[in-house]
Structure 1
Amino acid sequence: MATATSSADLLNEDKVKSILASDSSFGILSQRLKQSIKACDEFASFIARKCHSEQRYSKDVLRTVNHCDHSITSNNIVVQGTFIQNLQKVIKFDEKINSVRDPYISALQNMANQLESLVQHFTNIRKQLKEKGNKAEREVSDSINMAKKARNRYWNLCTELEKVRGSDKNQTKITLQGRKTYSQQEEDLKAKIKDAEDDYNKKANSSQRLKNNLVKTIRPNIADEFKNLIIELDYAMQIQLQKYSIYTESLIVGMGNQVNPINGSDSMKKIATSSDLEKCLYFYLKGSTVKTNEALQPVEFIRHPIVGGILPKSTPKPPNSANSSRMNNINNNNNNKRDMSIASKSTVGGAAAAGMVAGGLISSTVSSPNGSVNSNKQSQNILSMNTNNKLPQIPSLGSTDSLPPVPVPPSYTSLDPSSSPKLSGPRPLNLEGNDSTLSFTDNSIKFNSDISTNNILNNGKLFGTPLELLDANDEAVPLFVIKCIQIIETFGSNTEGIYRLSPNKISLEELIIQIDNDPHNLSLLDPKDPTNVSSEYIYIIASLLKKFFALLPEPLLTNEQREAYLQAAELHDPIERQTKIHQLVFELPDSNYFTLRDILGHFRHLIEFPKVRMDSKNISIVWANNLIGGNFESREELEIQQRVIEDLIAFAPSIFTYDDI
């Protein structure tokens, strides 16, 4: 009964051994190892690109989640159990999923580094083995060539002796040593043949010995090393491939556990389907302010006293009995239809909201007992509703404290257990008067925040206005900041000392007044002649931008985080310092976050302009107080403040996503 042949035994077949012992073995094995190295290199490149793609996607998702969450909290009042609250919770699931994706990204980065190390290591060993084998083969080849030359010399001398013996024995030969007889010639050739034969024999034996050593010792050893390297590299790649499959499976399972937790917490689907839409509308209506529209108040006829005794009062004509009966029937039919409509709405769902609103209308539109409709009374009853009228009380739904807490996702630090700080995204900005904890019974709440924002900006100025109230792009960066940066980078690349040198004070103050008078007209910043922009004009725009940040009601890095930034700048470990600053930046409001991104990118562009002659230290000196604020008097405090800006400039590419940095 034949036994199954193992994979390792296959390499011991006679045919395989003959291939490994052949003169082509080095080339065959070297080429095979090269293929494995190339495959490892391609695998490393794939993992690195996948890691970069996951990092970029994670940042984009986090940015989108925080931007949407900020918009929800800024433009809506979040109430327990409403669609708005559930929308906010569902969106936050992507942030939870990112907590699983972050260790996956770290694992991919480690894999890419390990694969790249394998490629470098095995490439070096392959070169060494190939050189070793080629050297041994060259020695044998050179020895054989020398033996061939000795053999040719030996055979030539023997041929010459044969010619001498076949010639006339009485003939003499003229040489450099004089005339030689036949016997002398024969003796000389015999001596040379003897030496040539010894040399030929020696070199032939040497070449044979070297060839035997190559075939029996050197070649098998190198072939075994090649085989071991190929199998070792392929095993290493197989292990990395298994790790990649495990990491990917863990990512998918982790994401699924976040979307539908196995610990009994609310799933995304459960939250998405749990909105009480009627209740949401009810709370909105109950919290709204009812106002009387004076334009809809009818005019009551009042006879002037002066004509009271002059003009006779008009007597209304009695209605025709037939017409009166027909009108009563029409009114009764209309009232019946209205009652049926209201009842239908209550049945479909909306009994609380629709019934309350319709109930007030029914009381003022029903017909009189005699079957006629009093139009004046009807209008007066409807229009007499004012803010003092109270809607019926609705039973309390209970406080949010009685609800089960939102489950905290498990802490995934890495697929291979280690520790790493978890960074949160840019936090939403809480505007005054938009507290999500306000009661819906407060009639002072304003739901249209855009109108109040526009009024504030139209009645105010550009300088000294909060960032969130200014004209901005889709990422909440003020258009004024974008405009100034564009002008400086377009026309100031050859201007030395931007932000360091001061412009003409009168010209600067005049431009400030013009912009404050018309904050929406940013064309005031454009140079009069774009083909001939002076350095003085660049200094004015640069000073204008610094003044804008200096006059903000709150510094760009916020008063709340100032001390945290200063403490982070004092950390000695650069990685720890970068991580802390990265975390603080992610906690900024959206407008501050994206504005900081653009201003730091602008600083890095200026550093790259050689004629500007401004490095990160120069920029931090002139900008630190404008971005951080606070009162710093000692030299040590000022240095720490400047170090914060230097670190932000240095860490910007790793914190933000830039297209051109």
Structure 2
Amino acid sequence: MPLQFDEGVLRQLCDLDCALPLLTDRIKQSLASCRQVALFFKSRARVEESYARSLGEMGRDLMDNYSKGDGKAGSFLKAYQDTLRIHDSLAQQRLKFAQRLNEMGEELSHLAKEMEKTRKQHKDTGTRFERNLQDADLTMEKAKARFDTTVEELERILILKEGGNLKDAGMHNSPGGHGPEGNRKKLGKAIGKGAGLFKGKNPAQMQKQEDDVRQRMSHASDAFRRAVLDAQSVRQEYFNSQLPKILRLLKQCADEVDLGTQYHLSRYAYLYETMVLQEGTTLAPVEGLDATTLGLKAVAEQIDNRTDFKLYMQNFIVARGNVPRGPRREGLYEEGYLPPLPPHVLSSSQNYNNGNGNGAEDSSRSLKATFGVDLTDAMMRDGDEVPKILEVCTEAIESKGLTTMGIYRLSGTTSAVQKLKAAFDQDVDSVDLDEDAWADINVVSSTLKLWFRELPDPLFTYALYPQFMEAARTDNDRLRHIRLHEQVNELPDANYAALKYFMSHLHKIRAEEKTNQMSASNLSIVFGPTLFRQPPEGGGGEGMTMADLMSFQCKAVETILLKYEDIFI
């Protein structure tokens, strides 16, 4: 854009007798155009801001709805979240664009306001100088009229003094006359004045009258000469100095408005192009420039439906542990690993083997059974605050499986799990999980989950099940945390101690989620149906489907795990 002042145009303007109104009208047009462009920027900003905010709110609402629904997890969830994240990034870019458009609109409005004040100021200055010139011309015309009047009066006196005819005196074409009509008017006036001009006057009086007229004519001539000189001086100053200066200032004002409007239009084009290019690189990053981000297409292509389905099968098998299953292909116990006998059978066996050391030993072991024993009964029996099996299994998992991919989500071999269960039931103190037989850490985790499922009264007791479900249904995160905390405090001492110990363990598992992929959400899916079981009489789940119950069970476990430090520490 040319920024230098065009002196040639200024010289042309100075030669025009309509330069001042020409420039003021042109500036008015420029200001109107400037305001229109400012209005365009502000209107476009409102459209962009509304679109951006709607786009951002859409992403947040959809993510909330998805988290409350039964949508897929795994790679699909990550791709869906990345898709919404990309849209949120687009919304942020649009918001910045709208903000800059608003700023440009305000700048143009301010420019138009300032230039309007400048235009009025220079226009008033030019009008004032024009008025001064007109006043000088008017003064000169009045002085000329007074001079012409005294000249006519002196001519009549001289004509009458010489005895001339009054009509001849009136017919004299005076400098102030303009055509026959003017002569006729002056003729009547001259006759009227001449008729009584020297009536009854002697020559001395006539001479005195002549001298007075000559003196007045001399003063009128001097005044006329000064008025002409003043008018010429004002005219010369106006056309040679003031008018060029005013025209220059007005032309600069017009140029500033025009160039400012053009600059902001060019800036708008640049910002728009930049924003569109940014959106393009966000949707499809240029290879080699930003390897850390994925485009929309690449995000969709990363969905691995086959792996997602495998993970879903594994999670479904674990999470639906309390749902009736179909018949098994293999029996629960292989040959050589039979389940422990019930206590009443062992008692009979002891009586039968009275005097036999083996019978007494079997009875002792039955009293130390691990699986299927109520937590409060086990605490009173063993004197341990935390069940031994819980300590042994969690310590083994923390030492060998803390970073294992899918720990607790992947199941161990059924036969190995049953062998380890039998070993715990036989003598929990003699079980050594460092042996090669238990090298698969998933066998240990599956055994621990089985122990939780076989508790006669779940970790979250039947008695408190309705209250836990009611608290889990609370939408507000803070209020749900408080209500669940209250119910945790209502648990029996044995259940509370076991829960605190186990949540500390899961807190450590969750801390390694980048490696083991077991977030609080994934852990809650595993342990929600495991630590909660609906009471046999169905209390706390009226009107809800199995899917709803499972959802609230998982929500309760997830909230307690996320707020572990607040609740227990």
Q: What range describes the TM-score normalised by the shorter chain of this pair? A: 0.3 to 0.5
Which structure has the greater CA radius of gyration?
2
Q: TM-score scaled to structure 1, two decimals?
A: 0.41
- Relative to its length, the structure with more helix (as a share) is 2
